[in-house]
Amino acid sequence: MSGLRPRVVLAMSPVARQRLFAPDAIERLKSVAEVDTDLVLTDFASRDARAALGRAEVILSSWGGPPLDALALAGAPRLRALVHAAGSVKPYVTEPAWRRGILVSSAAAVNAIPVAEYTLAMILLANKKAHRMARTYRERRTRLDLLEDFPEAGNYAKTVGIIGASKIGRRVIELLSPHELRVLVCDPYLDDATARRLGAARAELDELLAASDVVSLHAPALPTTRHMLDRRRLALMRDGATLINTARGSLVDHDALVAELRPGRIEAVLDVTEPEILPPDSPLYDLPNVILTPHIAGALGVELRRLGASAIDEIARYAAGHAFAHPVTQAELARIA
């Protein structure tokens, strides 16, 4: 550290800067760091950027910021840390930065909060059959015999399968704890004792798929997880079960998913797809048993302020000589989003 108030440079889009930091947050940032909050870098090559990098001890980054590559590092001899006011740091922290020993923090744990809230809401609504009831009511436009037509509606004693004990997956399990549900979790890095401490029972993937009324994906996008839910595994899901994906679209074979959805055997809540923006002719837009949202589960609107506040907390910790509360290491990037 260079002193009690480290020199900080913002590297993000101007829109991100505006949405992340309210005026009071800007004042707090200035109280813990030497920072020109009007200078927002979207590249590291301009004259202003090179001058700022030459003095910077900490980069405060977010969406729209440039990667911290070898060229940027060469012009930043005093740089010690990168605090990322967003989720994944993979696009921003390069191999040269890790070799240099740059300390890295991410707001992924904070961004997990709204994703888990979205997931919890969708799990409870899926078990309640709320979306199916709404469709039926709209079609019939008369009184429904709810007891006759929806005998399996409700959350009591249902089974929820969580694929991936990530920060988000663990938060979802925590939020499910007040409800009388059986929770299964599948994660290759999780043992039985840890699963029990989380409030779930560990299960193998095939077992989880066959046993769950709702399956929620929280695994990272890795070569080993691509299309982990393929035709064979999707066929294991119970009739009437719901698949929720707030993780990455690549985890699911969409052609196989459409084949299961078309006859109405299962339902799906998809906040992420592959590609990210589906082509206009994708059947997922029109299938009545699909809830399709445009990647909204993560922080949006006022929730972005939480990410900004978390980043300022990290800079305050750094200024005080403390370790980051939400550090990211190169080793763990191999198995996180």
Query: What digits encode the pLDDT tens for the residues 282-295?
Result: 999 999 999 999 99
5-40 tens-digit pLDDT:
999 999 999 999 999 999 999 999 999 999 999 999
Residue 1: is its pLDDT beyond 80? no
Residue 2: is its pLDDT beyond 50? no
The fold of 7-106+301-333 is Rossmann fold (3.40.50)
Residue 3: is its pLDDT beyond 60? no
Task: State yes or no: is 267 an active-site residue.
Answer: no
Each domain of the chain, given as residue ranges in start order, spans: 7-106+301-333, 111-292
Determine which one of 27, 231, 276, 322 is catalytic: 276
Determine which one of 28, 170, 202, 248 is catalytic: 248
Q: How confident is the model at residue 88 (pLDDT cuts 50, 70, 90)?
A: confident
Which pLDDT does position 322 carry in this prediction?
A: 96
What's the average model confidence in pLDDT over 215-242? 96
Which pLDDT does position 87 carry in this prediction?
A: 85
| 3-state secondary structure at position 81 | strand
Q: How confident is the model at residue 332 (pLDDT cuts 50, 70, 90)?
A: confident
What's the average model confidence in pLDDT over 196-208? 97
CB 89 within 8 A of CB 313: no
Determine which one of 179, 238, 295, 317 is catalytic: 295
Give the global pTM.
Answer: 0.91
Separation of CA 164 from chain center: 12
Domains 7-106+301-333 and 111-292 share a fold: yes
Query: Would you state the CATH architecture of domain 111-292?
Result: 3-Layer(aba) Sandwich (3.40)
What's the average model confidence in pLDDT over 72-93? 94
What's the average model confidence in pLDDT over 220-239? 96
Task: State yes or no: is 276 an active-site residue.
Answer: yes
What's the average model confidence in pLDDT over 262-275? 97
**Cα distances (angstroms) measured from residue 70 to each of 44, 92, 295, 333, 334:** 11, 12, 32, 19, 21
Residue 336: is its pLDDT beyond 70? no
